[in-house]
Structure 1
Amino acid sequence: MKHAIAKVRWLDESAGGRRRPVTALQYMSPAVIGGDEDAAPWTLVVHRSREEARAEETVLVHFLMDEAPHERLQPGVGFRLTEGPRVTGEGVVSEVFELSAAA
């Protein structure tokens, strides 16, 4: 399964984002990939390294579903994480790699 390293900037309530910051080590969210507003959003799983709130951080991301358009995760591609109509975070992919499950 394709995974990516990305830099994410979390939006606070004053910027239209979450009232409380993300503090969980794993966060799942529908995402608009590459600015394509007409494409159906796919759920991205965001793995964080720390539980404390941070405005910007480097994270590991991957699609929740195997059938997702993995080819859209490419270095330099931006994405927006959403909760309903609210954008909670904006990110840019910096590196992509395959990570297979242990046999």
Structure 2
Amino acid sequence: SLLSDEYKGKWAGTEGQSSGRRILQSMKARRSSGEDHDKPFKPPVTVGWMPTCECSDNEGDARCVVLDPFAGSGTTLLEAYNNGRDSIGVDLKKDHAEIAAGRIRKEGDFQEGLDEFQ
């Protein structure tokens, strides 16, 4: 064998702690108990919108504006809208800006200012 005796078990898959073997055992156990066996690991928990600064919601105070210099699909802009904030999104790729504008038109409840996005 090309592998030394020290690493033979790890690379040959004979080690009892093999991660592939543990995943298969977990999937079989979930399948037999009727649980979701296609996704043996829990999905990551998202914490949602977390402001990075404090903004005043008092009338007459300066409005807070969220700037997303990498707007992509517009998720940050939608979250800003859902939290009552104005937002500005920038993306170098025109197709990304078009995707974001389309998503905002569809999911957001407004039209104002989207012309500037294009």
Q: Larger C-alpha radius of gyration, 1 or 2?
A: 2
Structure (1/2) with the larger helix percentage: 2
Q: Same fold (TM over 0.5)?
A: no
Structure possessing the higher relative contact order (Cα contacts under 8 Å, 6 or more residues apart): 1
Using structure 1 for the length normalisation, give the TM-score: 0.30
- The structure where strand makes up a greater share of residues is 1
Q: TM-score, normalised by structure 2?
A: 0.27
